[in-house]
Structure 1
Amino acid sequence: MLITRPSHCKRILKSLVGHFDQGHIGPVKPTTVYDAGSVQEAFRFMQQGLHIGKLVISLRGPDGSLKINTELVTSIRKLKLDESASYLLAGGLGGLGRSVARYLVEHGARHIVFLSRSAGSGPDDQEFVVELESLGCKVQLVQGSVNNRDDVVRAVSASQNLKGILQASMVLRDENFAQMKIEDWRTTIQPKVEGTWNLHHATLEAKIDLDFFICFSSMSGTTGLAGQSNYACANTFLDAFAQYRQSLGLPATSIDLGAVRDAGYVARDEALLKRMKVTGSKGVTELEVLEAVSMSILSKPVIKPEPAKNTEEAEFVDQSNLVLGLLSEIPLSSAESRALWKNDRRMAVYHNSSTDASDGSGSGGDVLKAFLSNAKKDASVLKANESVQLLAVEIGRKLFSFLLKSEDELDTSVSLSSLGLDSLVGVEMRSWWRQTFGFDITVLEMLGMGTLEGLGKHASQGMLKLIDSESG
């Protein structure tokens, strides 16, 4: 219009300015003002769709001061490895080891040495080497055993300016302790015990100043696991070894891993994954492992502790050990929980952190978890109308928690739009839905269900299909 009818635009603008000068045009009212530090609350309020007028974010006060918290916050340190250094991975050519190697390269590593008995002979080894080289990293494969001192010395010598070691050697020989042969015991013990000592002594003799020495241990060394007495013993050694190195003023961390469900040995074992699901074990994700590696590398320099004058009263704090995987999908207080460590007194904090799901006073989250646990045992409960209503209420509770609304207003028959569900909240609800019910739903599908009762029915039908496919 400005191009084709400029005179008309001029008259409209003059008229607007005139009305503004006369006070007929002003800002939209009412205006709800939020400080800059309360942006999240402002968006939450806007998502409800109940406001009238405008929501305004005020950056400065009348005196010109910023309305935000300007206190200094410790910035998160980002992992940046030395491009001129080498990093040695012992037994790092498995699924999880490859993920760690990629992670190191993505954060600056430009020379990685792998020590493995099968180095270079695996079906995908060469492709993996090419992948790392395409990222600008030089890769050396040293074929040898971490149990053999000469092989370890050879790998250390091949690592110019060695700055970090990751000990990921693992051999499993599961068997009941009473029936276990000495060969099975030694086969599992040696890579983690003798191999770790070899790496330790080889670097000391070469006078190598390491930035980090990370041992991949297991929760079995902390909580135990049936049929894995040899493996548990080996991992308990790694935890003690990390403490020993730190007592010498040398860097060391032991990462006790639960079952890593999306990478490595466990991810390839369908039977083991099913057993994890039955016991309620949440497992560990690949991302969590990589974050633990980053945390271990970035940890503060080791300070050699002063010996305690009275060892009986001295407080013990283990700063050399990280544990990942102490989570259960089923509340520990539930009779359905089969977590191996639920009765371990050291894990009491996990009981205290959740409400007892066995009584009616439990939180909505525990009620839903208990229901889902029962549904996995007996899928027929999902067909009951009462189950659909329970699911509708629990979905509504989660929706209201996102909307910061009181559950007193919850009505499963009211339309979702009236309750405040929109595309923004739908994204958050979708993420929770996938994690809770085990199958996906799009935001459009969610909005199209109409009411919470519709969502409850969809959840029930979806879980029935999921359980049928898994049992088939």
Structure 2
Amino acid sequence: HPPHPDGTILITGGTGGLGSILARHLATHHHTRHLLLASRRGPHAPGADQLRQDLHTTGAHVDIIACDLSDPAQIAALLQRIPAQHPLTAIYHTAGILNDATLTTLNPAQTDQVLQPKADAAWHLHQATTSLGLDLARFVLYSSSAATLDSAGQGNYSAANAFLDALAIHRTHLGLPAQSLAWGMWDPRTGGMTHQLATHDLQRLTRSGFTAMDAHHGMNLLDTAQATPEPFLIPLPIDRRALATRPDGVPAILRALTPAPKRRTAEAAPAPETRTPLEQRLAGLPVAEQEQIVLSVVRSEVAAVVGHASGDQVDPDKSLSELGFDSLTSVELRNRLSQVTGLRLSATLVFDHPTAAAIAEHVGDQVLPKKESVESRAMHNLDELGRLLKEISADGEAATALTVRLQKLMDDWRGGRPQANKDGDVRTADADELFTMIDEGL
């Protein structure tokens, strides 16, 4: 049921980009008259005064409070200040923060920084309102699609949002109102999490098939979601054409949204090609040319990720971090290269091999023929020579010539040290010279 018009609606993160949009929407479209906006900086947050003025213009009473939502005591104090004549009837939890990193590089501080304002705060709000027996009409959690798909480099953020999704389902099982909305990408101008993204990050998301929502679109989706009884929904605008052509493949959960590939009859089907496109391209070429092709492929994929027009603009020896790579774009590059090469590459590829040249060498080690070491080839040839010598008589001129040649090879390998017999001819050597030859390895 909708919140009572005389009740108070609490918005956490209320002075942030998404919280401000929501507050204005509730005041103008749903005629909410009592709003409590809680955030870390409260009335000192940028734009808080203008937001208060805009909401007052609609006729709403607004209270903007600074509150650490990860602290249960501060949440309890926040709820106590709500007047009895305007009891709390709805909560919208929009607070959150990003601190991206791949899972293997996350540290406890990064995990706490992201989970506390989102997951911890949601749990404290749940406990506080249930212990007080408040009759809420709505308990809406602003989650993210990062918990469901495409969360590369956002292990902590994904976990925090997955907790919100699970909490909404848990509350529903308890007979309590709850809905978790796993939002897709917001237009950076809304001030949501995407306002921190660089241009190449937004291009990456667009290439993945996800389109940005503006405030109007987002609030229409919110109203539609709240008319739906499901506890967990994903408001996620999708470009189906871009999704179908993703360079790293369509996520399994979204494959039903893309056209099914055309089936061929068994008679017309060609023999399956077991080699990847890269392996087909390298087949039969000289090793040096193969290495250049692998490097060119890596540079092209790097260029695509950072938004360069061509791989020629990528310095193969320049650190990828200097080109603007972060944990998200690093995983995207890994995914793209895995698709192109057919290899299972590590999520820490860019951290382990920080330049395009280093990545190309790593890829080349796995797709190019193994190079036999000089030592290995030498031992192989010596084994063959040993087999041939067994077929040659130890007497005669041929054996003598072989002995001289072997001695010369040994001399050259050892640095060309002169022998007692400068001609190296055993036929003209005296006894002392022969013994010297024997001592020095003949």
- TM-score range for the pair, normalised by the shorter chain length: 0.5 to 0.7
TM-score by length of 1: 0.51
Counterpart check, 1:88 vs 2:10: yes
2:183 counterpart residue number: 257
Picking from 290, 313, 317, the partner of 2:219 is 290
> What SS does the aligned partner of 1:324 have?
coil
Q: Which runs of 5+ in 2 are unaligned?
A: 265-303, 311-442
Spell out, residue by residue over 1:285-313, the C-alpha distance to the aligned partner (whole angstroms, 9 max, x if none): 3233212332344445xxxxxxxxxxxxx
Any conservation in 2 of the 1:173–1:184 contact (CA below 8 Å)?
A: yes
Distance 1:166 1:338, change over 3 A: farther
Counterpart check, 1:347 vs 2:258: no
1:239 counterpart residue number: 165
1:39 counterpart residue number: none
Counterpart check, 1:277 vs 2:185: no
What is the CA distance between 1:273 and its match in structure 2? 2.5
Picking from 33, 41, 44, the partner of 1:118 is 41
Distance 1:274 1:333, change over 3 A: closer
Any conservation in 2 of the 1:214–1:296 contact (CA below 8 Å)?
A: no
Spell out, residue by residue over 1:242-283, the C-alpha distance to the aligned partner (whole angstroms, 9 max, x if none): 000000111100000111125123246442323333434223
Q: Structure 1: how far apart are the matches of 2:173 and 2:158?
A: 23
What is the CA distance between 1:357 and its match in structure 2? 9.6
> What SS does the aligned partner of 1:163 have?
strand
Distance 1:350 1:87, change over 3 A: same
Counterpart check, 1:144 vs 2:67: yes
Q: Structure 2: how far apart are the matches of 1:247 and 1:221?
A: 21
Any conservation in 1 of the 2:3–2:89 contact (CA below 8 Å)?
A: no
Distance 1:296 1:212, change over 3 A: farther
Distance 1:223 1:249, change over 3 A: same
1:325 counterpart residue number: 236
Q: Structure 1: how far apart are the matches of 2:120 and 2:176?
A: 19
> What SS does the aligned partner of 2:234 have?
strand
TM-score by length of 2: 0.55
Picking from 99, 110, 121, the partner of 2:21 is 99
Q: Structure 1: how far apart are the matches of 2:226 and 2:53?
A: 26
Calculate percent identity across the aligned residue pairs: 24
What is the CA distance between 1:176 and its match in structure 2? 1.7
Give the aligned length. 262
State the one-letter code of the partner of 1:181. N
Q: Structure 2: how far apart are the matches of 1:247 and 1:81?
A: 21
Any conservation in 2 of the 1:88–1:156 contact (CA below 8 Å)?
A: no
Across the aligned residues of Structure 1 and Structure 2, the Cα RMSD in angstroms comes to 2.8
Distance 1:186 1:268, change over 3 A: closer
> What SS does the aligned partner of 2:254 have?
helix
1:65-214 aligned within 5 A: 82-106=4-28, 107-160=30-83, 161-214=87-140
Q: Structure 2: how far apart are the matches of 1:358 and 1:136?
A: 61
Q: Structure 2: how far apart are the matches of 1:172 and 1:358?
A: 43
> What SS does the aligned partner of 2:55 have?
helix
Q: Structure 2: how far apart are the matches of 1:279 and 1:204?
A: 40
Asked which structure has the greater CA Rg, the reply is 2
Distance 1:339 1:246, change over 3 A: farther
Q: Bigger CA drift: 152-161 or 92-101?
A: 152-161
Q: Structure 1: how far apart are the matches of 2:237 and 2:53?
A: 37
Distance 1:154 1:358, change over 3 A: farther
Distance 1:286 1:355, change over 3 A: farther
Q: Structure 1: how far apart are the matches of 2:234 and 2:202?
A: 20
Any conservation in 2 of the 1:192–1:235 contact (CA below 8 Å)?
A: yes
What is the CA distance between 1:82 and its match in structure 2? 3.2
